[in-house]
Every structure is written in structure tokens, then in C-alpha cells.
Amino acid sequence: MGIEPEGPTDAHKYVLGLLKLSPPEGSRSDRLRLSPECITRSLGYKNSDYLVRICRELQNQDLIEREDPGYYEITWRGRAYLEGEIEITAE
């Protein structure tokens, strides 16, 4: 499965928006990296399997990437999509 022909769902956009956030000031990292379980809890979803699927779909579009096993971060394409600079279509 992939992103629907109508484009990304609210869940796709929520995941991108969460991963776009900056880490706290003074953090040793300049990017936020989260696991699907953390994304699920942070966004108030009950089913992490659903968010794992959403993350895979976003990864297939190069909007997020797996930094370490089980952790995702936003890519430049993901930021460009949120800024309205590019459009995402179904695969």
C-alpha cells in the first residue's frame, strides 16, 4: 500500500509535522528522531501498527528516513512538502 491518489492523509501530515519539530535547546542533536511507538503516543493514536504503515508510506516517498533501526526523521523533501514547495502524488 502507499499514499492514496487523493494525497497524504491527516495522519501522514501529523507525522511529518511532529518530526519537523526541533529538539530542545541544548540537545546534543540538531534533528528529532522518533520511534513509531513514540509517534503513536505523541499524536494520540492507539494503534502503532497503523503508524508504522504511515511511516513506511512516507519513507517510500522520501519524506522521512530511518536514521537508526526503528527511528525516523524528516528529510528535506518532507520539510519542502510541509512548506508547500512540492506536491506528493500516489505511487
Query: How crowded is residue 34: how many other Cβ atoms within 10 Å of its Cβ?
Result: 22
Quote the CA–CA distance of 60 and 31 in Å, as a whole number.
Answer: 20
Query: How crowded is residue 69: how many other Cβ atoms within 10 Å of its Cβ?
Result: 6
pLDDT in tens, 25-57: 888 877 889 999 999 999 999 988 999 999 999
Comparing C-alpha atoms, which of 77, 79, 31, 39 is closest to residue 55?
Answer: 39
Provide the pLDDT confidence category of residue 91 given band limits of 50, 70 and 90: low
All structural domains of the chain:
10-82 (1.10.10.10)
Helix (H, G, I), strand (E, B) or coil at 32: coil
Provide the pLDDT confidence category of residue 5 given band limits of 50, 70 and 90: low
pTM above 0.75, yes or no: yes
- The single-letter code of the amino acid at 5 is P
- As a whole number, mean pLDDT of residues 57-73 equals 91
